[in-house]
Amino acid sequence: MRRAGPATRVRNDVITFMPTPVSPLAPKRVPQMPEIAGVRLATAAAGIRYRERADVLLALVDKGTTIAGVFTRSRCPSAPVEWCRARLKGGKARAIVVNSGNANAFTGKSGREATRMTAQFAARAIGCSPTQVFLASTGVIGEPLDARKFDSVMETLVVGARPQPWLDAARAIMTTDTFAKVATASTRLGKATVTINGIAKGAGMIAPDMATMLAFVFTDAPIAAPALQSLLAQGVVVTFNALTVDGDTSTSDTLMAFATGAAAAQGAPRITRATDKRLASFRAAFEHVLANLAEQVARDGEGARKLVEVLVEGAVSKRSARRIALSIANSPLVKTAIAGEDANWGRVVMAVGKAGEPANRDRLAIWFSGVRVAFNGARDPAYDEAAVAKLMKKPEITLKVALGLGRGRDRVLTCDLTKDYVTINGDYRS
């Protein structure tokens, strides 16, 4: 199934949005997203880049909401990333404004001015300080962002904000995504049931080393900003940081968490330290939401037809296992072989060898979807081409490598690399 880019028919620098076929790897079921006390959402079509679709999201949160965030490690970050980093230390938020279609990255002084104006427009409509308005942008890099377009919809967004439209919120931040990405979980904290909702976007330019493309998580749990920051920083390591689609880290990667504290009224204790033992169940639920969103991004990789789980074990350390797993997951030769349904273990050996980590060729063992194809540095004596070929036709592939050197192990999610990836990215600005 061909997945063309989402935008065609340019008219006066605004592109008519053309829906694309949904990824064949999309989840079969979309969760019912519950309301979270203290969170209201609204979307609008501001004409940032796309015509005839919502491209701005406003998430309003009640006074006292705490915030945490992790951002791209790119040395060329976007203006919104710089804005958020500078204001995160305040620990409080009243809103986040997100737009799709324009990344407001590599836009110089005009980009910084656009963030300042956008925050001021939102703060005026909400009745708060601009320092409590956070921003995120995604889309084309290097194009100026006209902040006046936010002013034209901001009052309507504030007045129309409601607790329910989580799917609409996720759709508004999509670019080349083919489906809205949402996740939810609930758990007990003290005497109260607390809820965690998350939305994300991302399909290409994905090799995060901090967070994700764009993702926003909301909870009614009463968690102080330092504790929330610690939870987020730890949770991202095994979720979004263990994800790659094409090896390219975005200038705009942003993951933010908001805790309204509304569940305190139902008996949830206020948590001030991430080491608090009462957080154990919440931590697991929080990481479940992050992991669910990260997997959805891999499932929606541009042009993807196969979800690939890369497992590395027997490395000298967990760090070493992660680097080898990423070397495999980012290899165009490995990814195209999987797209061609070819269990080409020679390309896996190549990726292990170039990772720059300790490895012994004569101890290597490799499995494709549970079938061992290589052992002790050579093809497995029991290798059955027909059996493996049948497994490679499935939409989900597990690739495991055992190094035989130590106890380090790790896991990375990726997808295959198809001709459609080239088509989508070749046409992206057309």
Please give the Cα distance from 404 to 364 (Å, whole number).
Answer: 7
- d(CA 236, CA 255) in angstroms, rounded, equals 9
How do strand 254-259 and strand 66-71 relate by DSSP bridges? Answer: antiparallel
Cα gap 171→177, rounded to integer Å = 9
Distance separating alpha carbons of residues 301 and 213, to the nearest angstrom: 12
> Using the 8-state DSSP alphabet, how is residue 264 labeled?
G
CA distance 45 to 61: 21
Instruction: Give whole-number Cα distances, 195 to 91, 152, 192, 282, in Å.
Output: 21, 33, 10, 9
Q: Which residues pair with 379 in a beta bridge?
A: 374
Distances (CA, A) of 39 to 36, 65, 142, 162, 284: 6, 10, 32, 8, 22
Would you give the distance in Å from CA 149 to the centre of its chain? 26
Q: Please give the order of strands across the beta sheet that includes 7-11.
A: 7-11, 14-17, 50-51
**Rounded to whole angstroms, how far apart are CA atoms 265 and 223?**
13
**What is the token pair recorded at 126?**
């909400």
Closest CA to 101 of 145, 131, 63: 145
Three-state secondary structure readout of 133-184: EEEEEEEECCCCCCCHHHHHHHHHHHHHCECCCHHHHHHHCCCCCCCCEEEE
- Could you say which of 65, 184, 195, 212 is catalytic? 212
Residue 57 DSSP class: E
Conformational region of residue 174, where left means phi above 0, alpha means psi within -120 to 50, and beta covers everything else:
beta
Establish whether 212 is a catalytic residue.
yes
Q: Find, among 217, 209, 229, 213, the residue nearest to 85 by Cα.
A: 229
* Residues labelled as active-site residues: 212
